[in-house]
């Protein structure tokens, strides 16, 4: 039987996947990068100490279905990234929306996070239908996490993390403001330590 990550590696094009890197201590990390455009420079955050079994997908490049949907509820929006990771005891799907500044109303960020969850639902259906794997990305096997990162590249403020009881739905998203240039720990995004 194929593992979920093997199917995703075959399903998703290389240009839509963020490559896992290793630091000088042989620890995995991701660099989630948003390109610049129209007079603004790009920005990025580093996710440190990721598990070995991980894939990060640039979900916002999935074309919005604007020719079909009316988009009256924000159903054509997407968050920037989705990280799918497997640990020894837990598995996670983490939806991340990044903002360079303070821009973005909470309602719109929630819509973006929900849109990326719909993208994963679509991948789930494709894997089950075309790969013949009825348990592909089975929801009960994954902890869902929702994260908003703002004020990226603001060096004068310390990182602020606004935690809710558990960021397992978009309305209770983990809010990170002015992340350190050294990065964000994966355990902060997942809500637990990797074992």
Q: Are 138 and 116 in contact (CB under 8 A)?
A: no
The answer to whether residue 30 is domain-embedded is yes
The answer to whether residue 102 is domain-embedded is yes
Q: Are 84 and 8 in contact (CB under 8 A)?
A: yes
The answer to whether residue 115 is domain-embedded is yes
Q: Are 179 and 149 in contact (CB under 8 A)?
A: yes
The answer to whether residue 76 is domain-embedded is yes
Give me the domain span that covers residue 128: 4-190
187: number of Cβ within 10 Å: 13
The pLDDT value given to residue 26? 87
Indicate if the pLDDT at residue 28 is higher than 80: yes
The pLDDT value given to residue 181? 84
The pLDDT value given to residue 134? 95
Number of domains in the chain: 1
CA 22 to chain centre: 19
Helices (H), 43-130: 106-130
Q: Which pLDDT tens digit goes with each residue over 75-107?
A: 999 999 999 999 888 999 999 999 877 767 899
The answer to whether residue 50 is domain-embedded is yes
The answer to whether residue 195 is domain-embedded is no
The answer to whether residue 93 is domain-embedded is yes
Percent of all residues in the chain with a pLDDT value above 70, rounded to a whole number: 88
User: pLDDT band for position 117 (50/70/90)?
Assistant: very high
Mean pLDDT of 160-180: 83
The answer to whether residue 138 is domain-embedded is yes
Inter-axis angle of helices 4-11 and 106-130, nearest 10: 100
């Amino acid at each position: 039987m194929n593992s979920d990550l093997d199917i995703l590696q075959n399903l998703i094009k290389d240009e839509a996947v963020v490559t896992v890197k290793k630091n000088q201590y042989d620890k995995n990390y991701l660099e989630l990068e948003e390109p610049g455009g129209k007079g603004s420079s790009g920005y990025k955050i580093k996710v440190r100490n990721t598990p070995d079994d991980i894939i990060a997908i640039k979900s916002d490049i999935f074309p919005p279905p604007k020719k079909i949907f009316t988009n009256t509820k924000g159903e054509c929006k997407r968050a920037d990234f989705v990280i799918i990771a497997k640990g020894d005891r837990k598995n996670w799907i983490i939806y991340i929306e990044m903002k360079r500044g303070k821009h973005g109303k909470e309602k719109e960020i929630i819509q973006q996070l929900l849109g990326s969850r719909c993208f994963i639902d679509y991948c789930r259906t494709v894997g089950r239908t075309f790969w013949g794997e009825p348990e592909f990305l089975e929801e009960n096997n994954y902890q869902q996490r929702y994260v908003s990162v703002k004020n990226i590249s603001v060096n004068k403020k310390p990182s602020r993390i606004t935690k809710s009881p558990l960021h397992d739905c978009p309305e209770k998203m983990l809010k990170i403001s002015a992340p350190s240039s050294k990065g964000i720990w994966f355990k902060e995004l997942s809500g637990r330590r990797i074992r």
